[in-house]
Chain A
C-alpha cells in the first residue's frame, strides 16, 4: 500500500529507525557459544511486563484502605470476571520472578560474567534483585489479610534490633507504633508508584550496560581464552557471532514459552503453594495466627536471625553477606572466568547454594 510506505518513509527520513533496528537486531552479533542461561534476561523482562500489566488491572478494583482492602480483593477474586486470574497471576508471578532472578544471578556468577568491565551491570542487577524483594514485601501487605498484617508486623519488627535507632526506624517504617492505616498508605504508594518507577529506571540502566559492554563469551569450550580488559572503553565484538535477531530471539522465545508454561501450570493447578490459609482471613490486629512464617525467599534471613545468639549479630552477618555479594566484582578481580580453573570460587559457590537451601529448609521446619 502506498500510504503505508509514505508513513514509513516519513518517519525513516526524520528518525533513522531502520539504522537503529539494524544495529541492535540483525547486526548485533552475539558470541557463537552463547547458551540457554543467557535467555533469563528476556524471561525476566517478560515476567516484569506481566507484573506491570496485571498490577495496573488490579489497581482498577483495589481500594487501599484498611476498612475496604480485604473486601476489594475478595471482590476481585470472586465477582470481577477473571479477577481471580489477574490476582493469582500477580501473586504467583512475584514468586516466579524471584526464582528467575536467582537463576539469572547464579548463572552470571557461575560464568563470572560480572567481572570487569561488567561491574556496573552486576551492581544494577543486584539492586534490582533487592528492589524485587522490597516489592514483594510491600505488595504482601496490600490485601490486608491476616497473613499480610502479621507477616508485615514480623518483618518490620526485625528493624527494631538495630542499636540506638531501631525503635524509631520501626515507627518510621510503619508510620506508627503498630502496623495500621498509615502503613498501608506508605506501602501502597511505594508498591504501585515509587518502586516500579525505580525498577523501570534500573532495568533501563541494566540493559544499557549490557548493550554497551556487549554480550560476554561463555567461558567454556577449547577456544576460550581469558583476556584482560583494556583501560579504555571497548565493546566486546564477536565478528563471527550469530545475529541477535532472529537467531537468538527465537531461542529467547523458546525459553520464555517454557517458563510461562511452568508459571501458568502453578497458577492453574497449584496456586495454593503460595497462598496459606491465613491469606484468606481478614486482618485482625488482636489475633495472631499460629505459625506465621515469611515467604520462602525470606526464610534464609528469618532462620539466620534465629541461629545467632543476638539479633544484632544476625543482622550484621546478613548485612555483611549481602554487601559482599553486591561488591563481588570489586573483590574478585582476576581475569580467569573458567569455573573449573577457579576451584576456590567454585567451592564457595556450591557451598553457598547448599547453605542457602539448607537454612531455608531449616527455617521452614523450625
Chain B
C-alpha cells in the first residue's frame, strides 16, 4: 500500500514539476549562411532582427524569394530569387505586400519623382531594419536630407492629434485585452483605420490629410465610445463585487458576535 502510494506521489510530482524547454526555432539557410559572413553581407541579418518584419515572422525569402531550405539553390532565380532591387523599383518591391500604401505613394510627389531620385520606401523606413510606421519618422533631420522641412512639418502637425488618438486607443485595447475582454474585432477595425490613415499620409498632400482627418477622428471617437462603454460595465461589476464583499464581511462579523453570545452564556 505504501509503495503504491509512494509511486503515486512520485508520479504526480513528475507530472507537476516543471522545467525549461526552449524550443529552438529553426533558422533558414539564408540566415545560417549570412550570419557567418562579414560586412554588408552580414549586416542585413543583424538589422532585420530588430525589425517589425522579424517580430511578425516575415523572413528574408518573404521579400527576396528563393528557397530558404536548400543551401545550393537558395539564391537561384529558378526558385524565384530576387536580389536587391534597384532604386526606382523599390516601391514595386515593397508594394507586392503593401498594396494600399503603394498606390497612395505612387500618386504622390515622392512617387512621381522616383525615377529622378524622389524618396522611396527605404529612404524613410530603412531597408532591413524596418520599424513600425510611426509619426516620429517625419522629422526635420530626415526630411531635410532632401528638401526643406516646411511642408513635411505641416503634414506632421495635421496628423499628430489623430496619431495620438490612435495610440491611446491602442493602449486602452491592450489594457482590456489583459482583462480577458475579446478585443480582436475592435483591434482589427483599428488596424484597418490606422493603415488607411497612414496610406493617406503617403500622398504627402497637406490639404488631403486635413480634409480627411475629421472622418478618421469620427471613427476613432466611435471606437473610444465603445471602449468607455466596456469600462463602465467593468466599473459596475466592481460595485456589485464590492457589495458582495461588504456583505460577507458583515456576515462574518455578525457570526462572530453570535459566537460570543455562547461564550457569555457559558461564562455565567
Contact = CB atoms under 8 A, between A and B. Distances in A.
Interface string B1-36: 010011011101111111111110000000000000
A347 interface: no
B13 A322 contact: yes
A305 interface: yes
Nearest to B9: A322
Interface residues of B, number: 42
B252 A298 contact: no
B21 A253 contact: no
Contact of A254 (B8, B9, B10, B256): B256
Contacts of B9: 130, 319, 322-323, 326
B12 A130 contact: yes
A135 to B, nearest CB: 11
B126 interface: no
Interface in B130-146: none
A110 interface: no
Interface string A262-304: 0011011101100101011000000010000010001001101
B167 interface: no
Contacts of B98: none
A355 to B, nearest CB: 16
A67 interface: no
B258 interface: yes
A105 interface: no
Interface stretch (B60-68, B190-198, B205-213, B236-244): B236-244
B122 interface: no
A74 to B, nearest CB: 5
A319 B11 CA distance: 9
A51 B164 CA distance: 44
B54 to A, nearest CB: 13
B19 A306 contact: yes
Contact of A169 (B6, B14, B17): B14
Interface residues of A, number: 65
A161 B19 contact: yes
B259 interface: yes
Given A250-B259, A254-B256, A288 B22 contact: yes
B178 A322 contact: no
Nearest to B233: A84
B19 A154 contact: yes
B19 A251 contact: no
Interface string A316-332: 00110011001100000
A258 B253 CA distance: 9
6 contacts: A134-B12, A264-B248, A298-B17, A301-B18, A319-B10, A319-B13
Interface of A: 74, 77-78, 84-85, 87-88, 123, 127, 130, 133-134, 137, 151, 153-159, 161-162, 169, 173, 242, 246-247, 250-251, 253-255, 257-258, 260-261, 264-265, 267-269, 271-272, 275, 277, 279-280, 288, 294, 298, 301-302, 304-306, 311, 314-315, 318-319, 322-323, 326-327
Interface of B: 2, 5-6, 8-10, 12-23, 177-182, 237-238, 240-242, 244-245, 248-249, 251-253, 255-256, 258-259, 262, 266
Among all A-B residue pairs, the 5 with the closest Cβ atoms: A268-B241, A257-B252, A254-B255, A261-B248, A158-B17
Given A302-B18, A311-B19, 4 more contacts: A250-B262, A258-B249, A280-B178, A288-B23
